[in-house]
Amino acid sequence: MSLILTALRGTNAIFRTSYTNKVLTPRCLSVSSPVLSDAEATPDKPKKARDPAKDRSVKHSYETSIRYLASNAYHTTYGTDPVWKQYRRNHKGAIPPRKTRKTCIRYQQIATGSPCPICRDEYLVLDHRNPELLKQFISEHNGAVLSYSKTGLCQKKHQELLVSIARAKNFGTITYDVPFRQYDYSEWYKPDSNA
Protein backbone atom coordinates (compact mmCIF):
# COMPACT_ATOMS: atom_id res chain seq x y z
CA MET A 1 0.00 0.00 0.00
CA SER A 2 2.80 2.38 0.89
CA LEU A 3 4.49 1.66 -2.46
CA ILE A 4 1.33 2.75 -4.29
CA LEU A 5 1.09 5.96 -2.27
CA THR A 6 4.72 6.86 -2.89
CA ALA A 7 4.27 6.10 -6.58
CA LEU A 8 1.22 8.35 -6.73
CA ARG A 9 3.02 11.11 -4.86
CA GLY A 10 5.89 10.83 -7.31
CA THR A 11 3.64 11.14 -10.37
CA ASN A 12 1.84 14.07 -8.80
CA ALA A 13 5.16 15.80 -8.23
CA ILE A 14 6.16 15.11 -11.83
CA PHE A 15 2.94 16.61 -13.17
CA ARG A 16 3.24 19.59 -10.85
CA THR A 17 6.81 20.37 -11.91
CA SER A 18 6.07 19.94 -15.60
CA TYR A 19 3.11 22.27 -15.32
CA THR A 20 4.98 24.99 -13.42
CA ASN A 21 7.92 24.89 -15.81
CA LYS A 22 5.68 25.43 -18.83
CA VAL A 23 6.58 28.62 -20.65
CA LEU A 24 3.70 30.71 -21.97
CA THR A 25 4.24 31.99 -25.46
CA PRO A 26 3.63 35.67 -26.24
CA ARG A 27 0.81 34.63 -28.55
CA CYS A 28 -1.12 33.25 -25.57
CA LEU A 29 -0.67 36.41 -23.53
CA SER A 30 -1.58 39.10 -26.05
CA VAL A 31 -4.94 39.82 -27.55
CA SER A 32 -4.60 40.93 -31.12
CA SER A 33 -7.17 43.22 -32.65
CA PRO A 34 -8.60 42.09 -35.98
CA VAL A 35 -7.79 45.40 -37.67
CA LEU A 36 -4.30 46.79 -37.24
CA SER A 37 -3.78 50.51 -36.83
CA ASP A 38 -1.41 52.49 -39.04
CA ALA A 39 1.34 52.33 -36.40
CA GLU A 40 1.04 48.55 -36.00
CA ALA A 41 1.00 47.76 -39.73
CA THR A 42 4.32 46.56 -41.09
CA PRO A 43 5.36 45.21 -44.51
CA ASP A 44 5.03 41.62 -43.28
CA LYS A 45 1.67 42.39 -41.55
CA PRO A 46 -0.33 44.66 -43.87
CA LYS A 47 -3.27 46.62 -42.52
CA LYS A 48 -6.63 45.00 -43.22
CA ALA A 49 -9.19 47.22 -44.87
CA ARG A 50 -12.36 47.89 -42.89
CA ASP A 51 -15.71 47.09 -44.41
CA PRO A 52 -17.38 50.51 -44.76
CA ALA A 53 -20.80 49.04 -43.95
CA LYS A 54 -19.52 47.67 -40.63
CA ASP A 55 -17.11 50.47 -39.69
CA ARG A 56 -18.19 52.40 -36.58
CA SER A 57 -15.00 54.37 -35.93
CA VAL A 58 -16.65 57.68 -36.93
CA LYS A 59 -18.94 59.05 -34.22
CA HIS A 60 -21.83 61.22 -35.40
CA SER A 61 -23.25 64.09 -33.39
CA TYR A 62 -26.80 64.33 -32.11
CA GLU A 63 -27.49 67.21 -34.56
CA THR A 64 -26.78 64.83 -37.44
CA SER A 65 -29.13 62.30 -35.88
CA ILE A 66 -31.91 64.90 -35.54
CA ARG A 67 -31.51 65.88 -39.22
CA TYR A 68 -31.53 62.18 -40.17
CA LEU A 69 -34.80 61.57 -38.30
CA ALA A 70 -36.43 64.34 -40.38
CA SER A 71 -34.98 63.17 -43.71
CA ASN A 72 -36.56 61.18 -46.53
CA ALA A 73 -33.98 58.42 -46.11
CA TYR A 74 -35.24 57.71 -42.59
CA HIS A 75 -38.89 57.67 -43.70
CA THR A 76 -38.21 55.31 -46.60
CA THR A 77 -36.26 52.98 -44.30
CA TYR A 78 -38.53 52.90 -41.24
CA GLY A 79 -41.76 54.62 -42.30
CA THR A 80 -43.88 55.66 -39.34
CA ASP A 81 -42.85 52.67 -37.21
CA PRO A 82 -40.27 52.88 -34.42
CA VAL A 83 -36.76 51.84 -35.37
CA TRP A 84 -37.05 48.57 -33.40
CA LYS A 85 -40.39 47.46 -34.91
CA GLN A 86 -39.07 45.43 -37.87
CA TYR A 87 -35.99 44.09 -36.04
CA ARG A 88 -35.61 40.38 -35.41
CA ARG A 89 -32.45 38.85 -34.00
CA ASN A 90 -31.07 35.68 -35.49
CA HIS A 91 -30.81 32.89 -32.94
CA LYS A 92 -30.48 29.16 -32.90
CA GLY A 93 -33.64 27.17 -32.25
CA ALA A 94 -37.23 28.25 -31.79
CA ILE A 95 -36.88 29.87 -28.38
CA PRO A 96 -35.04 33.23 -28.32
CA PRO A 97 -32.41 33.80 -25.62
CA ARG A 98 -33.54 35.52 -22.42
CA LYS A 99 -31.04 38.36 -22.60
CA THR A 100 -29.76 40.17 -25.61
CA ARG A 101 -26.06 40.21 -26.40
CA LYS A 102 -23.63 42.38 -24.43
CA THR A 103 -22.56 44.54 -27.36
CA CYS A 104 -22.70 44.50 -31.13
CA ILE A 105 -19.58 46.59 -31.79
CA ARG A 106 -16.06 45.34 -31.03
CA TYR A 107 -12.87 47.12 -32.06
CA GLN A 108 -15.02 49.90 -33.59
CA GLN A 109 -16.55 47.43 -36.02
CA ILE A 110 -19.84 45.51 -36.10
CA ALA A 111 -18.99 42.01 -34.94
CA THR A 112 -22.38 40.27 -35.27
CA GLY A 113 -24.57 39.17 -38.12
CA SER A 114 -27.70 40.92 -36.85
CA PRO A 115 -26.76 44.01 -34.82
CA CYS A 116 -29.35 45.72 -32.64
CA PRO A 117 -31.50 48.55 -34.08
CA ILE A 118 -29.22 51.32 -32.75
CA CYS A 119 -25.90 49.67 -33.65
CA ARG A 120 -26.94 48.79 -37.20
CA ASP A 121 -27.75 52.41 -38.13
CA GLU A 122 -24.81 54.71 -37.45
CA TYR A 123 -26.93 57.86 -37.65
CA LEU A 124 -29.12 56.92 -34.67
CA VAL A 125 -27.45 58.59 -31.69
CA LEU A 126 -28.81 58.14 -28.16
CA ASP A 127 -28.59 61.55 -26.52
CA HIS A 128 -30.79 63.50 -24.11
CA ARG A 129 -31.02 66.29 -26.71
CA ASN A 130 -32.56 63.90 -29.26
CA PRO A 131 -36.07 63.39 -27.85
CA GLU A 132 -37.66 62.11 -31.08
CA LEU A 133 -35.52 58.99 -30.98
CA LEU A 134 -35.88 58.48 -27.22
CA LYS A 135 -39.68 58.67 -27.37
CA GLN A 136 -39.71 55.58 -29.59
CA PHE A 137 -38.44 53.52 -26.65
CA ILE A 138 -40.99 54.83 -24.11
CA SER A 139 -44.37 53.15 -23.74
CA GLU A 140 -47.26 55.40 -24.67
CA HIS A 141 -49.55 53.71 -22.15
CA ASN A 142 -47.65 54.11 -18.89
CA GLY A 143 -44.51 56.10 -19.76
CA ALA A 144 -42.11 53.29 -18.81
CA VAL A 145 -38.99 52.45 -20.79
CA LEU A 146 -39.57 49.45 -23.04
CA SER A 147 -37.63 46.30 -22.20
CA TYR A 148 -34.65 45.17 -24.25
CA SER A 149 -36.45 41.88 -24.86
CA LYS A 150 -39.08 43.81 -26.82
CA THR A 151 -36.85 46.34 -28.55
CA GLY A 152 -33.92 44.00 -29.20
CA LEU A 153 -31.24 46.45 -28.06
CA CYS A 154 -27.92 45.07 -26.92
CA GLN A 155 -27.09 45.51 -23.23
CA LYS A 156 -24.62 48.34 -23.83
CA LYS A 157 -27.07 50.42 -25.89
CA HIS A 158 -29.91 49.69 -23.45
CA GLN A 159 -27.83 51.14 -20.61
CA GLU A 160 -27.07 54.20 -22.76
CA LEU A 161 -30.80 54.50 -23.45
CA LEU A 162 -31.69 54.43 -19.75
CA VAL A 163 -29.09 57.12 -18.98
CA SER A 164 -30.24 59.28 -21.91
CA ILE A 165 -33.91 59.08 -20.91
CA ALA A 166 -33.12 59.90 -17.27
CA ARG A 167 -31.04 62.90 -18.37
CA ALA A 168 -33.75 63.99 -20.82
CA LYS A 169 -36.33 63.99 -18.02
CA ASN A 170 -33.97 65.99 -15.80
CA PHE A 171 -33.25 68.54 -18.53
CA GLY A 172 -36.92 68.73 -19.56
CA THR A 173 -36.55 67.62 -23.18
CA ILE A 174 -38.97 64.78 -22.46
CA THR A 175 -42.02 65.72 -20.44
CA TYR A 176 -43.81 63.18 -18.33
CA ASP A 177 -47.04 63.56 -16.40
CA VAL A 178 -47.69 62.29 -12.93
CA PRO A 179 -51.29 61.03 -12.94
CA PHE A 180 -53.66 62.84 -10.60
CA ARG A 181 -55.93 60.53 -8.67
CA GLN A 182 -59.24 61.47 -7.12
CA TYR A 183 -59.85 60.03 -3.66
CA ASP A 184 -63.04 59.70 -1.68
CA TYR A 185 -61.86 60.91 1.74
CA SER A 186 -65.09 59.91 3.45
CA GLU A 187 -63.75 56.35 3.55
CA TRP A 188 -60.90 57.42 5.88
CA TYR A 189 -62.59 60.07 8.04
CA LYS A 190 -65.36 59.21 10.44
CA PRO A 191 -68.33 61.56 10.40
CA ASP A 192 -68.11 64.14 13.16
CA SER A 193 -70.64 63.29 15.91
CA ASN A 194 -70.71 66.88 17.27
CA ALA A 195 -71.84 68.42 13.99
CATH number of the domain where residue 67 is located: 4.10.640.10
| Domain total in the chain | 1
For residue 79, tell me if it sits in a domain.
yes
Question: Which of 54-63, 98-107, 179-188 is the least confident region?
Answer: 179-188
pTM exceeding 0.85:
no
For residue 104, tell me if it sits in a domain.
yes
For residue 122, tell me if it sits in a domain.
yes
**Range of 91's domain?**
62-171
pLDDT at 17 exceeding the cut of 90: no
For residue 149, tell me if it sits in a domain.
yes
For residue 163, tell me if it sits in a domain.
yes
List, as one string, the DSSP characters of 121-190.
-TT----TT-HHHHGGGB-TTT-PBPPHHHH---HHHHHHHHHHHHHHHHHTSS---PPP----GGGTSP
What pLDDT, in 10s, does the model give residues 78-96?
999 999 999 988 888 888 8
